[in-house]
Structure 1
Amino acid sequence: MLIATGSTAAQGTYPDRPIKLIVAFAPGSAPDIMSRAYGQKLSQLLGQPIVVDNKPGATGAIGADFVAKAPADGYTMLVNSSAMVINPWVKKQPFDFRKDLVPVARTADTPYLMTVNPKLPIHNLAEFIDYAKKNPGKLSCGTYGVASPPHLALELLKKEAGIDVLHVPYKTFGQALPDLVSGQLSCSIDPPTSPAPQVAAGHIRAVAHTGNVPMEAFPQVDPIGKRYPVATVVGWQAIFVQAATPAPVLGKLRSEWQKTLSDPAVQKTIREAGFEPSKESLEDFNKEISTDYQKFGRVIKDNDIKLD
């Protein structure tokens, strides 16, 4: 997709030709929708077309590998997610994101929402923990896959709270919800857009989320990270470029991305996609990438989590 440009950049300065925005997700997905809004605004600011190119697959690794091997000139950018810091622990990667890629901007965040079957006597996090302790091994919790951020959030909560809950992996977002509504499954942890309609209809109950501050969409729901800070898991979307990109180019991109993400129309698109515009600084984001990489690695090793 070629996104229309605004004014023409000065000849001989960066950028002087179209820029590729590699989206490591399928067309029509939330990251893709947000990326097209980013591209529209960024194109106006940089005065060059932004070409959105979807390269989904391997939990974002296909798109990341493409950008990691691209020329380090600022003309190929990556949209990827927090799964990027998990992938190296569970599958062989043809690149090293810590050496080959560098963040430009953190664009959007979301914790994951824990919901339960409403027949259970569970209305909040404390009741979930209490019920699990009194009924060890009887609660089952679905996520969208082995080693997904919600799965690791569940394992971290189990360790921190000292509870025994069975993990049930599904293949995609929201796939666990019919089983949750029917009572075959006790709980589910999903991106909030998936269960929100069922919560609103009263078919399932939202009891907690994996962040550490209240959610705007579910202000009454307990943040797991407030009680168990180590169990905080926030899904993020972010922009990366090849690590050897020249400092002046990287600096310009970071400046223009911040302007892009401050645009009200862009922020509206982010919220409509089920995320919140990120408020974290780039310095803090770099620290979080390192912290999450080590934290997820420990929980994967401790629980011997492997992909089939």
Structure 2
Amino acid sequence: MKKRFLLATMALVLSLSIMGCSKKEATPAPADGASGAWKFERPIEIVIPFGPGSGTDTTIRAWAPLMEKELGTTININNVAGAGGVQGAEFFVNQPADGYTFAMYTPSHVIAAVDGTASFDILNDTMPVVRLVQDSNIVLAGKHVPYNNLEELIAYAKANPDKKPTLGMMSINGIDGAAAKQLFDAAGIEVQFIPYASGAEANAAIMGGHTDMVLTSPFDGNAYLESGDMKAIVLLAEERATNLPDVQCTGELGYEAYIGPWRGIVAAKGTPQEAIDALEAAAVKVNEMKEWTDWKETVGLNDRPGFATQEEFKTIWMEYYETMKALRGK
């Protein structure tokens, strides 16, 4: 009897042991990134929907080397310019959403979402990752014009309705056009917008007396101000720029015209959240690096709060969408 009880007990223990081993072996291994520790194992591509030398291109080329060190992988920059940033966005959305391809967008892409100029739903097919900088716009004028600041420009335009001032810019249907429209609607005057393929072409038109004014960035325009070839009309910002302390801004003049070209990293819908989180985490660290802060200081990008985390950027993305809808009467 005692022997049979011992044998039964051993059988039960063996059975439970086998069941325990079977259960352990049947437990599936966690999927890649399930723990949140995504590791980039091959080069990352960032699509820039504007050409080399643009503010977007300049920003990414200063930021990418610091991110490479933080991520431990190479970042390849792919410029796909055309149609005010839409061509690059359409190229980007057709790449695999596998966590290795991202893009840098600007408010021009939010405007494209409002206007429906892309072949896909930019608003809902875009996943904001992190905003890097917030730039400003400045209106410069040629030496040949009879006004020297915004108030004189407004007075001139109202006194000479048959002589509509001209303003050169690179993206009439993008952020440049939206910023200029906001400014001159607030000022109550009409200005003719002239499109140019590049900032160099727009500046050359000013120098040649073919256009009255140009909309550009403070950094790009500073050289012309220092040389005396152009004069500053107004900075579109809440406060004066540290590198242009003598130039009036719309904030101090009482005009609510502050739209400027922010630049941020985005992912396509379907990109693994773990990859997005990993890129955001690295960007947070880079944003605190002295090298990055120093570079922003040299180009005047430290005056306005620019950096935004994933959740903050999502809010900004939607707020700009509503602002652009209102500006475009949609």
Equivalent in 235, 245, 252 of residue 261 of structure 2: 235
Where do residues 24-173 of structure 1 align in structure 2 (5 Å cutoff)?
24-90=49-115, 92-138=117-163, 139-173=165-199
In the alignment, the residues of structure 2 paired with residue 292 and residue 223 of structure 1 have an alpha-carbon distance, to the nearest angstrom, of: 21
The structure-2 alpha-carbon separation of the partners of 1:70 and 1:145, relative to structure 1 and needing over 3 Å to count, comes to closer
Contact 1:142 1:170 in 2 (8 A): yes
Query: Does 292-301 or 95-104 show the bigger shift?
Result: 292-301
Look up the SS of the partner of 1:244 in the other structure: coil
In the alignment, the residues of structure 2 paired with residue 168 and residue 21 of structure 1 have an alpha-carbon distance, to the nearest angstrom, of: 31
Report the Cα offset of residue 186 of structure 1: 2.6
Report the Cα offset of residue 270 of structure 1: 4.3
Q: Which residue of 1 aligns with 2:321?
A: 293
Look up the SS of the partner of 1:195 in the other structure: helix
What do you get for the CA RMSD once the two structures are aligned?
A: 2.8
Q: Which residue of 1 aligns with 2:249?
A: 223
Look up the SS of the partner of 1:41 in the other structure: helix
Kindly provide the amino acid, as one letter, of the partner of residue 279 in structure 1. Answer: G
Report the Cα offset of residue 280 of structure 1: 4.1
In the alignment, the residues of structure 2 paired with residue 124 and residue 155 of structure 1 have an alpha-carbon distance, to the nearest angstrom, of: 17
Q: 2:284 matched to 1:279?
A: no
In the alignment, the residues of structure 2 paired with residue 285 and residue 128 of structure 1 have an alpha-carbon distance, to the nearest angstrom, of: 36
Contact 1:174 1:194 in 2 (8 A): no
Q: Percent identity?
A: 25
Kindly provide the amino acid, as one letter, of the partner of residue 274 in structure 2. Answer: P
In the alignment, the residues of structure 2 paired with residue 58 and residue 87 of structure 1 have an alpha-carbon distance, to the nearest angstrom, of: 10
Report the Cα offset of residue 20 of structure 1: 1.9
Report the Cα offset of residue 234 of structure 1: 0.8
In the alignment, the residues of structure 2 paired with residue 95 and residue 57 of structure 1 have an alpha-carbon distance, to the nearest angstrom, of: 16
Q: Which residue of 2 aligns with 1:175?
A: 201
Question: How many positions carry a matched residue from both structures?
Answer: 291
In the alignment, the residues of structure 1 paired with residue 247 and residue 275 of structure 2 have an alpha-carbon distance, to the nearest angstrom, of: 42
The structure-2 alpha-carbon separation of the partners of 1:171 and 1:214, relative to structure 1 and needing over 3 Å to count, comes to same
Equivalent in 204, 222, 226 of residue 230 of structure 2: 204
What TM-score do you get using the length of structure 2 for normalisation? 0.76
In structure 2, stretches of 5+ residues that fail to align are 1-36
The structure-2 alpha-carbon separation of the partners of 1:58 and 1:229, relative to structure 1 and needing over 3 Å to count, comes to same
In the alignment, the residues of structure 2 paired with residue 140 and residue 36 of structure 1 have an alpha-carbon distance, to the nearest angstrom, of: 33
In structure 1, stretches of 5+ residues that fail to align are 1-11, 303-308
Residue by residue, what CA displacement relative to the aligned partner does 1:72-121 show, whole Å, maximum 9, x if unpaired?
33211112222111223456312222211111111122211111233545
Q: Which has the larger radius of gyration?
A: 2
Contact 2:47 2:101 in 1 (8 A): yes
